[in-house]
Amino acid sequence: MRDPWVCLGKIVKAQGLRGEVRVRSEIENSENFLLPGLFLRCLDSSMQPVQVEDYRVHKGTFILTLAGCDSMNQAQALIGCELVCRGRQLPPLPDGEYYHYQLIGLPVFSFQGEALGELKEIMATGAHEIYVVQSPTVDSGEKELLLPVVAPYVLEIDLAAGRIIVDPNGGGGLSRAAAAALSGE
């Protein structure tokens, strides 16, 4: 089982004179900032243990108070660093929900068994996420397939088997009953 470093957020600015930092983050559970065993991954790729003493939300970003960071100069030195933790440290999600790190890199197959490529990115949109599946092609190097993360496109995510099953036509190549059976509905 892989246990990668997961980025909780990136320090983008010093905040105020007392050493607080402004963090841009896509995490949904801000309590993850208080997990034990957090590290700063710095621009030189070094890792430093860090403890978040407090946080608050301000204009769509998070303001964090870090232990030992007591001045604006110390905070400015951290700009560009990422707050990271091991994936195993994150709290479990409800059935049917996944952390992005669990999905990125998984092979993607059509419901007919055709290998479509590897999940490279998950893009956030207003309505739903989009899976970016990248597959090597003989002539042009790489090809991208964009799939909305909704049924009837995504039929099954099987972490134990390490794969994602999709219908790239969104049910167009599969009867509704077959799509429902594959997706467990």
Instruction: Look at residue 168 and tell me whether its pLDDT is greater than 70.
Output: yes
For the chain, the average pLDDT equals: 87
Element (H, E) at 75: helix 72-76
Where in the chain are the domains?
Answer: 5-88, 100-183
| pLDDT tens per residue, range 91-149 | 988 888 898 889 999 999 999 999 999 999 998 887 889 999 998 765 566 788 999 99
Q: What is the pTM of this model?
A: 0.72
| pLDDT tens per residue, range 53-69 | 999 998 888 999 999 99
CATH number of 100-183: 2.30.30.240
CATH architecture of the domain with residue range 5-88:
Beta Barrel (2.40)
Interatomic CA distance for residues 58 and 53, integer angstroms: 17
Q: Identity (one letter) of the amino acid at 155? A: L
